[in-house]
Amino acid sequence: MYLEIKDLHKSFGEGDTKTEVIKGITCGIEKGDICVLLGPSGSGKSTLLNIIGGIESADSGLVKIGNDTIESMNESSLTKYRRNHLGYVFQSYNLIPNLTVKENIEAGAYLSKNPLPINDILNTLGLYKHKDKIPSRLSGGQQQRTAIGRAIIKNPDILLCDEPTGALDYNTSKDILELIERVNQKFKSTVILVTHNDAIKNMADRVIRLRDGKIRHNDLNEHKIPARELEW
């Protein structure tokens, strides 16, 4: 397994208000796969994604990506790990308002060891003709495409997507999912996608269902379909 998670625990709060949100999770994801994390609000899926991304630390357990073990890293090593290996796509686009599309995407390549060519990214995302626009002149879908471009330009090993279609309408959501699929196929990024939309599981190689901080199902998808054929 490329990504290994073993007996992961995470709580928030202290004393009487302490709440365990991750309760002994163990799973693995192969390199180059699309993995969908499904579950209702409060199931622990975003917390799990943040621990994999080094944004939050686990109370106990192990997260290993390739030869790197997150728990053994100090803050400096963790920063390098995030910079060199991970790309993030969130429900909120977090674009820099006074930078153009091209400049926002290029900001993601800052300090990257092996960035992808900017024009290749713009063309893959269908943004080349919008490259000189600022975010306020873009639709929601175009803003999310720009956010994906910023995440993938540094050529990450893993693309972490937290509800990337949560704020988008049906057709735009499908466009974004097709785009994530294209990025996975073209750049060989491993994709971990958090969603509460059950239909999205059908485009995944692996589907992990969480509830109350535990894995309820962990399945290989033997009947994977293209994102453009998803319906909900």
Q: Which domain range does residue 124 map to?
A: 3-229
CB 228 within 8 A of CB 181: no
**So what's the pLDDT on residue 168?**
87
CB 104 within 8 A of CB 153: no
Q: Please name the residues in contact with 126: beta carbons below 8 A apart, sequence gap of 6 or more.
A: 145
Coil, helix or strand at residue 57? coil
Coil, helix or strand at residue 209? strand
Q: Which two tokens stand for residue 160?
A: 């972490």
Per-residue exposure over 203-221, b if at least 16 CB sit within 10 Å of its own CB, e if not: bbbbbbbbeebebeeeeeb
Q: Please name the residues in contact with 76: beta carbons below 8 A apart, sequence gap of 6 or more.
A: none
CATH number for the domain that contains residue 146? 3.40.50.300
Report the phi/psi class of residue 111: left, alpha or beta, with left for phi > 0 and alpha for psi in -120 to 50: left
Output the tens digit of pLDDT for each of the chain's 232 residues: 899 999 999 999 999 999 999 999 999 999 999 999 999 999 999 999 999 999 999 999 999 998 889 988 999 999 888 888 899 998 888 999 999 999 999 998 887 888 999 999 999 889 999 999 999 999 999 999 999 999 999 889 999 999 999 888 899 899 999 999 999 999 899 999 999 999 999 999 999 999 999 999 999 999 999 999 999 9
**So what's the pLDDT on residue 219?**
97
Q: Please name the residues in contact with 86: beta carbons below 8 A apart, sequence gap of 6 or more.
A: 53, 54, 156, 157, 158, 159, 160
Domain count, the chain: 1
pTM of the model: 0.91
DSSP 8-state class, residue 99: S
R_g of the chain, CA atoms, integer Å: 17
**So what's the pLDDT on residue 2?**
93
